[in-house]
Amino acid sequence: MAQILVVDDEMGIRELLSEILTDEGHSVALAENAAAARKARGEKRPDLVLLDIWMPDTDGISLLKEWSSANLLTMPVVMMSGHGTIDSAVEATRVGAVDFLEKPIALQKLLQTVKKALKYEMPSSRPPLTLDAFARSPLLKDLKKRLEQATANTRVLLLRSATGSIAEICARTLQAPKTSWIDLSASSAPLTQEMLENAAGGMLFVADLMLFGRLQQKNLAFALERLEKYNLRLVVAMPRPMSTLVEAGWDPALLARLGDVWVALPQLSGHVDEVPEIAALVLSHLVERHGMEPRRFSTAALNALRLHHWRGEWMELLAAVKNLAIAALEDEITVEDVENVLVRDADDAPRIVSPMPLFNQSLREAREAFERQYFEYHLKNERGNMTRVAEKTGLERTHLYRKLKQLGLNLGRRLDEGE
């Protein structure tokens, strides 16, 4: 039978589920919090994890995100919650959970869910896109060489004028084969020494420093001090000058360390003839590795992309290709499809319809960034009074506290005094 890991901070729940599942012939391991769950997942290699959402150290969804970003989500995970909501279920499923159980859990519902989850086939792990795929592009071949030279004698690299997908492609290029990957943007929960130890030899990544909250900045500083100890590399991306972060209140000493060695992305404007080749390869990657419908560019469509004035540089190009892969009605992407995705300014210079920075991020990143701004706005307006913030946002106070903690918003004494 199966090896099942039960993660719940309530002893009674753990013991009850263990007894039921053992009677069914399964081998059961127990963990009372996220730290114990990480250890058990590494040692036991469970076939299934039953994971509680609300835990004292790190909430279950944050742990799920952590496993997903580190390529450790190799087993089905069923979330459990005594405060189940549709939002929680949708969020958990989006991150990678295969099902959701609401407490108190009925015996029959538990057994049916476990049986179904154990039959679930996890998606096969496909290699990420790296600059190696663009060997026919002199522009990106040169970028790969510069990245490798820059990191030959340092563990920290800043990618200037970069963010999102293109930054990840560069970082993935530098990642050693079969090593761990930790996206520090994926969670606001405290980074632990155990997490870094488990990722030894791997890559830490930040897609956009502009979006980092206070707690995530602390995680970054914590990781910087331990890169040598655990043989880790750190690649961070920044689309704007570092002085912007100084103005936002970042620690200058931390920024100095992050910006010591940097590589700037080449400008597309001087290499328009390479755009068709790059766009075609990106499209192929989306189709092969992300399960999208088969697509190919017509010759006219590729020419339209070559003639386009890419004001948004790499972010704009990658966003355009992704939108074309999704929006095209036929297997062949036509010049009309390209014109529908790209619009023109008053001066007739074309651009992609993505004026806001949030639109250039993944849905998860955009949602977290919006939620952080949303709650910061209400906290400021209500001067930290949690009762009034709860009323304004329509959240129960307990859920509000958990949400603020999850987003890395430091409540501190100011909020207590505001009550």
Answer yes or no: pTM beyond 0.75: no
Compute CA distances 129 → 142, 168, 174, 209, whole Å: 17, 9, 12, 22
What percent of the chain has pLDDT above 90? 41
pLDDT band with cut points at 50, 70 and 90 for residue 158: very high
362/368 Cα distance (integer angstroms) = 10
Average pLDDT score, the chain: 84
Of 411 and 226, the structure prediction assigns the larger pLDDT to 226
pLDDT tens profile 204-224: 999 899 888 889 999 999 999
Residue 119 CB contacts under 8 Å (≥ 6 apart), including other chains? none
Q: Has residue 350 got a pLDDT over 60?
A: no
Residue 377 CB contacts under 8 Å (≥ 6 apart), including other chains? none
Residue 412 CB contacts under 8 Å (≥ 6 apart), including other chains? none
Of 316 and 145, the structure prediction assigns the larger pLDDT to 145
Alpha helices in 76-163 (DSSP H): 86-95, 107-118, 138-150
Q: Has residue 337 got a pLDDT over 60?
A: yes
14-33 residues labelled b (16+ CB within 10 A) or e (exposed): bebbbebbeeeebebbbbbb
Counting beta carbons within 10 angstroms of the beta carbon of residue 360, is it exposed (0 to 12), middle (13 to 18) or buried (19 or more)? buried
pLDDT tens profile 282-299: 888 787 766 677 889 999
What mean pLDDT do residues 404-419 have? Answer: 55
Counting beta carbons within 10 angstroms of the beta carbon of residue 57, is it exposed (0 to 12), middle (13 to 18) or buried (19 or more)? middle
The residue among 265, 256, 368, 382 whose CA lies nearest residue 316 is 265
Chain CA centroid to CA 378, Å = 25
Give the model's pLDDT for residue 128.
Answer: 80
Tokens of 46: 């469970």
Least confident of 71-75, 330-334, 338-342, 379-383: 379-383
Tell me if 47 sits within 8 A of 75, measured CB to CB. yes
Residues linked to residue 205 through DSSP beta bridges, in sequence order:
183, 235
pLDDT band with cut points at 50, 70 and 90 for residue 155: very high
Of 7 and 44, the structure prediction assigns the larger pLDDT to 7
Give the model's pLDDT for residue 66.
Answer: 80
pLDDT tens profile 351-392: 444 434 455 556 666 677 777 777 877 887 777 788 888 888
Neighbours of 106 (CB within 10 A): 11
Q: Has residue 412 got a pLDDT over 60?
A: no
Give the model's pLDDT for residue 143.
Answer: 94
373/368 Cα distance (integer angstroms) = 9
Give the model's pLDDT for residue 110.
Answer: 95
Domains of the chain: 3-118 (3.40.50.2300), 131-264 (3.40.50.300), 270-358 (1.10.8.60), 364-418 (1.10.10)
What mean pLDDT do residues 33-45 have? Answer: 86
Q: Has residue 415 got a pLDDT over 60?
A: no
Give the model's pLDDT for residue 354.
Answer: 43
